[in-house]
Amino acid sequence: MLNLDRNTYFYLLTLNIHKMAIKNIEIVKTEILSDNWYTLKKVTYQYSKPDGTIQQQSREAYDRGNGAVILLYNMTSQTVILTRQFRIPTYINGNESGMLIEACAGLLDQDSPQDCIRRETEEETGYQIKEAKKIFEAYMSPGSVTEILHFFIAEYTNNMKVSDGGGLEEEEEHIEILEINIQDALEMIDTGEIKDGKTIMLLQYIRLKNIM
């Protein structure tokens, strides 16, 4: 393997991506399969392959809007705030209790990512934060779901607690708030107690960036 510097490596990688990229993408037909809660579409599209031939495919895509997620952390106590709630998709796919430990998250609806995550933080955890630092955004399930998730972190202190949290009663949310030592949370990834992808990403970010 060639010993390449970082800039050369990414330059060659970019050239290869452009070489393999498909072109002239065209949506041929879109069918609504379901709009009972969010929207499930069947999309037929065509594109030009690198050799110039035309390929047509059909795929289903679930549109539930975009979202935001946040990890609250306390430098003094070396703790993070997580939540636990019932998730029916995990229950039907191997999670015996259906309960899942997660970072606080929610859909944007008509809000900006910043406004959304401040609202969701107070509703779910009871902590009122003024600012949150956006660290990145990611497609969480690009093979089937359109959602982009905006990732945030923010410090919290006890005097930011303004309510019990737990979610909104009118949305039938029943959310348990957990304050966990950061090292214990990381070990819970290894034991399988934490299996939520977005939460694992945030916990590992905190450790990789030496924030805690």
Q: pLDDT digit of tens for each residue in the chain (212 aa)?
A: 456 666 665 544 454 545 567 788 999 999 999 998 899 999 999 999 888 889 999 999 999 999 999 999 999 999 999 999 999 999 999 999 999 999 999 999 889 999 999 999 999 999 999 889 999 999 999 999 999 999 999 999 999 999 877 766 656 568 999 999 999 999 999 999 999 999 999 999 999 999 98
Tokens for 18? 């452009």
Retrieve residue 149's tokens.
């998730």
Quote the pLDDT of residue 7: 66
pTM, full prediction: 0.86
- Closest Cα partner for 164 from 117, 123, 130? 123
| Token output for 157 | 């202190």
Rounded CA gap, 79 and 103, in Å?
Answer: 13
Beta pairing partners, 59? 43
Nearest to 200 by CA among 82, 96, 87, 114: 82
Give the integer Cα–Cα distance in Å for 27 and 43.
Answer: 7
Number of H helices, E strands in the chain: 5, 10
Q: Tens digits of per-residue pLDDT, 54-82?
A: 999 999 999 999 999 999 999 999 999 99
Q: In the 8-state DSSP scheme, what is residue 9?
A: H
